Amino acid sequence: MKKNIKNEKQAARVFHPGDILLDELNDRQLTQAEFSDIIGRPARTVNEIIKGKRGITPETAGVIAAALGTSPDMWLAMQAEYDLYVLSKKSKDKPQEVEQRSELYSLFPIADLVRRSYIKRKTKVEELKKDILSLLNLSSIDDFNTRLAGARFRVSNGDIVLGYLNTWVLLAKKKASEQKLDNKYDKEKLKEFAKTIKDYSCKEKGIETVINELKKLGVRVILLPHFSKTRVDGAACWIDDQSPVIVMSLRYQRVDNFFFTLLHEIGHIVLHAPTDTNAFFVDDLNNLEKENKQEKEANDFAIQNLGLNGVVSSLKFIDITPQILLKKSEEVGVHPSLLIGHLQHENLLAYTAYQKFLNKEKINQMIPATLIEK
């Protein structure tokens, strides 16, 4: 896959909140004109914010937050972080410290880490570095770069920062290592359990139950919202060769995305366990590398275990109605959104069709808040 991913030198800056806003609009498939109508601001204002030519004021932060379901504080914090960065770049008193701070910001999503209270805002660069290394269980920046070089990234085209993705996975691995499990990982038992996962998509408390069942099989599942510039659905990684971890971002908050991502990552665990436990798979399931053998295998594993293999041929030449969708999903034994998502992927349904089924239930409303990391 060709990737437009920023390396360390390219990412040696703090992103203007307009960059993040553009990501949010792209994720929601909103144009700038549509968004300007939603927030009641001129299209020129939205465009200037996205281009970094205009800052975000408290008033603007309020309407953006209301439209996107975020908080005004988040946008103001990003603006403040950017303003401080610009100010530090202008400083000539301590060029070495500015350079070191710039390197840290290029590697780690510091604004997100501060906003989510993983670290505190620090004026001294050495204190900031110490806090980050402690958070991620790293011995040095070189240690971070070594792990970054060994990672197996499977990400979409786009403005992705590898260091931010690596931070997301390392933080999840730390969270996972704090969980004590009673049973050891058993690959064959996991493969058998994968065949039953689709059943949980239709059950009350199904997501919570399937996470607990995976723990009994020695597989930890960490629900960790993604960082800025990391468009990611899930990851498969390892604490050691007997301790696999699945990380889920929940960025779409949809039942179909959750269960397909979960089975895709289980596919990586049972089919592609690496000899180097620093390696990991990171997936944006909207933009998988279609010609990559391992990604195709993980996708096929998910489709097979969802029981969706023969669905396309049975629906290919008929008019698909809501009644047919509900009947077929009941026959297969999956949540209707999983069938809809598969048919959309196979171009039998438009991506705009049946949104009420896809967005009816939000994942964060279906599970205890304590299961989702901050």
3-state helix, strand, coil in the chain (%, to 5): 55, 5, 40
| Domain co-membership, 157 together with 260 | yes
Distance CA 132, CA 125 (A): 11
Mean pLDDT confidence for 135-141: 95
Of 367, 325, 323, 361, give the one whose Cα is nearest residue 344: 325
| 163 and 106 Cβ atoms separated by less than 8 Å | yes
What is the pLDDT at residue 180? 94
Work out the pLDDT band at 357, boundaries 50, 70, 90. Answer: confident
- Name the residue range of residue 265's domain: 147-371
Strand-pairing partners, residue 236, are 246, 281
Choose between 294 and 149: higher pLDDT: 294
| Residues in the chain, overall count | 374
Residues 115 and 163 grouped into a single domain: no
| Measured CA angle at 276 (ends 271, 279), to 5 deg | 75
As a whole number of angstroms, the distance between CA 229 and CA 187 comes to 33
Phi first, then psi: give them for residue 222, nearest 5 degrees.
-110, 125
Count how many domains the chain has: 2
- Amino acid 152: pLDDT: 64
Same domain, yes or no, for 104 and 69?
yes
Residue 8: band (very low, low, confident or very high) from pLDDT cuts 50, 70, 90: very low
pLDDT digits (tens, 9 = 90+) for 144-201: 988 877 666 655 445 788 899 999 999 999 999 999 999 999 999 999 999 999 999 9
Proportion of the chain above pLDDT 70, given as a percent: 92
pLDDT of residue 105: 94
Residue in 119, 113, 221 with CA at minimum distance from that of residue 167? 113
Least confident of 2-16, 124-138, 277-291, 360-374: 2-16
Q: What is the mean pLDDT of the chain?
A: 88
Q: What is the pLDDT of residues 202-218, one digit of tens each?
A: 999 999 999 999 999 99
The reported pLDDT for the residue numbered 361 is 83
Distance in angstroms (rounded) separating the CA atoms of residues 339 and 6: 35
194-211 burial, b at 16+ Cβ within 10 Å, e below that, comes to beebbebbeeeebbeebb
CA 56 from centre of chain: 25
The answer on 71 and 201 residing in a single domain is no
For residues 215 and 277, membership in a common domain is answered with yes
- Domain contains 142: no
283: pLDDT strictly greater than 90: no
Q: Clarify whether residues 219 and 345 are in a common domain.
A: yes
| Structure-derived torsion over alpha carbons of residues 124, 130, 131, 133, reported in degrees to the nearest 10 | 140
The band of 244, judged by pLDDT with boundaries at 50, 70 and 90, is: very high
What pLDDT, in 10s, does the model give residues 40-56? Answer: 999 999 999 999 999 99
Please tell me whether residues 129 and 274 are part of one structural domain: no
365 and 340 within one domain: yes
Q: For 181-225, what is the HEC assignment?
A: CCCCCCHHHHHHHHCCHHHHCCCCCHHHHHHHHHHHCCCEEEECC
pLDDT score of 35: 94
Segment 310-339 mean pLDDT: 89
Q: Quick one: pLDDT at residue 288? A: 65
Q: Is 140 a domain residue? A: no
Has residue 92 got a pLDDT over 80? no
Residue at token pair 């998910």: 302
pLDDT computed for residue 276 by the predictor: 82
